[in-house]
Amino acid sequence: MTTVASRFQGVIPPVCTPRTADGAIDVPSLENLTRHLLDGGVSGLFVNGSSGEVTHLTNTERDTVLTTIAGVNAGQVPLLVGAVEQTTNRVVEEARRMVSLGADGIVATSQYYAISNAEETGRHIRTVAASVDVPLFVYDVPVRTHFKMPTDLLVELGREGVIAGVKDSSGDDVSFRQLLIAAKDIPNFDIFTGHEVVVDGALLGGAQGVVPGLGNVDPKAYRRLYDLAVAGDWAGAAAEQDRIADVFNIVYTPKAGRVSGNAAGLGAFKTALMLMGVIKTNVMSAPMLALDEDETAAIKVILERTGLI
């Protein structure tokens, strides 16, 4: 794997957002989850991302989530914070607010809902970067934005120093590898995979780290995997990845069609954390449904099999 002189490397989980039984932000559970992640050896924390249900959070809730996590973290690891809004001016406003509340770096997507092209997306990213005095990372997640960030644009922005790196959740392994190759000589340009089960391959290809939703559940495993990769023990890394792939089976336990795909994955993470005693409930942001008793029981079997409870 490629190592660079940057503070943004390693394992940076996108922190889940616990809710109380009545749907409010569960601050004590969020504090406990943050401690769970820090104790697990994470390299950083991604706040207000997709796994944090960011698009379902009000501005007040987003602020509460960031200030709560920042309070527990107390500068131990860098905080990457999502500024996820539809269009440029809204992202700029959000990014500035997140920086004022403690963000060490901003993560922004391309515009969504608004219909744009590569040229407009480049202007969008440059404008956001110019509006804040912390590093900006591009979040490539076309399943949500309906726009795949072009590799040549990302490399161009990296060479210009506009962006500090990319969090790739595109699901396009070919373009991801092409980005790793094209950006290999850009100093302090950090590329992260958002895929839970192909991290060993991403690190072997030169990625600087991983932003895994499943890292909420088992941060120690991802830390072990990363350390094995840094040490060049690829057989050990693959074995750890195989175990993680088994844990990832929790996302397939929800009944088909009962909950949305979004609620299935994030609901599995929350349910696992609830069973592990890290958070109190598996309540989702409205209108998403929580996993039921049968689905919870199926997740418990997997957690027991993989040694998490």
For the annotated binding site, the residues are 211
167 in active site? yes
From the annotation, which residues make up the binding site for pyruvate?
A: 211
Exactly one of 167, 222, 270, 300 is catalytic; which is it?
A: 167
φ, ψ for residue 76, nearest 5 deg: -65, -45
Task: Tell me which DSSP letter residue 81 carries.
Answer: E
Exactly one of 112, 139, 222, 226 is catalytic; which is it?
A: 139
Paired tokens of 183: 């950006």
Paired tokens of 169: 């959740």
Nearest C-alpha neighbor of 6 from the set 209, 203, 147: 209
Contact predicate 94/127, CB 8 Å: no
Q: Rounded to an integer, what distance in angstroms lies between the CA atom of residue 308 and that of residue 248?
A: 12
Neighbours of 306 (CB within 10 A): 18
SS3 state at 79: strand
If residue 141 lies in a helix (H) or strand (E), which one and from where to where? none
Paired tokens of 54: 């960011």
Count the residues in the chain.
Answer: 309
Nearest C-alpha neighbor of 179 from the set 168, 195, 164: 168
Look-up of token digits 């379902």: 56
226 in active site? no
Residues with a catalytic annotation lie at 139, 167
